[in-house]
Amino acid sequence: MTPGLAASWANAELRKQPGRQHSERSHRGRVILIDDDLEILAALSYLIELEGYVCETFSSALDYLGQLALPRTRPPGPCCVLVDVMMPDLDGLEAQRRLTALDDTPLLLMSGASGVHEAVTAFRAGALDFLIKPLEAETLLLAVEKALAVSRERQSLQARSLALTHRLVALTNREHDVAIRVARGDLNRVIAKDLRLALRTVKLYRQRAMEKLEARSTADLIRVLQEAAL
């Protein structure tokens, strides 16, 4: 056996191997593939897995929605959904509507018919891309990569805003009031007068709020509060 072939065998074994390898791949990205045609599911998942992503296949959007409804922790890492528009029990556009109502996983739609109407509807409903079957591997993988990047960005944004929310929650009411006014640009003196506090107390609250929000400067404080408001 040539070394190349042996390596390829090993690689193949690795691809099939669950467990640690799976979680590594999952980190790279997870593609949820929904199509009623089993042949297409098989072929596309091959192509996607070959690129080192995890590919979960569903032959019906209802199956996937049912699985989402189960109380289960989702594997970490970016994730996108690639769904066929023309399906018997629940078509792609309807699936898109239900999925976007559930979470903000980026959606890619694919269709055999180059229906302008469907494409427009899909984009209006926030689809990231609309792929025409038969899919070019290049196009598909680029779209998947882009969708996973969007997912990653959304996830990190979500994580940040979650962290910020945690920090905001840690503020007392007074600290919060003071922080808001500082962010608005009010002077300590004005804040003290407004809130009927001693200037010293205002300074203390301001100091504590900055510590709790992990802001190093007033400008930092303003940015943090703005992000949290998102």
Write down the least CB distance from residue 77 to other proteins, Å: 21
Write down the least CB distance from residue 68 to other proteins, Å: 23
Nearer to other proteins, 110 or 210 (CB): 110
What is the arrangement of strands in the sheet containing 129-132, beginning at the earlier edge strand? 54-58, 30-34, 79-84, 107-111, 129-132
Question: Residues 200, 206, 210, 211: is their CA dihedral positive or negative?
Answer: positive
Interacting residues toward other proteins by CB under 8 A = 4-5, 7-9, 11-12, 15, 36-37, 39-40, 42-44, 46-47, 50-51, 86, 88-89, 91, 112-113, 133-137, 140
Write down the least CB distance from residue 9 to other proteins, Å: 5
Write down the least CB distance from residue 218 to other proteins, Å: 53
Nearer to other proteins, 35 or 177 (CB): 35
Nearer to other proteins, 138 or 230 (CB): 138
Nearer to other proteins, 6 or 120 (CB): 6
Write down the least CB distance from residue 145 to other proteins, Å: 14
Write down the least CB distance from residue 82 to other proteins, Å: 12
Write down the least CB distance from residue 37 to other proteins, Å: 5
Task: Give residues with Cβ within 8 angstroms of 50, minimum separation 6.
Answer: 15
| Angstrom distance (rounded) from CA 191 to CA 44 | 61
Nearer to other proteins, 14 or 198 (CB): 14
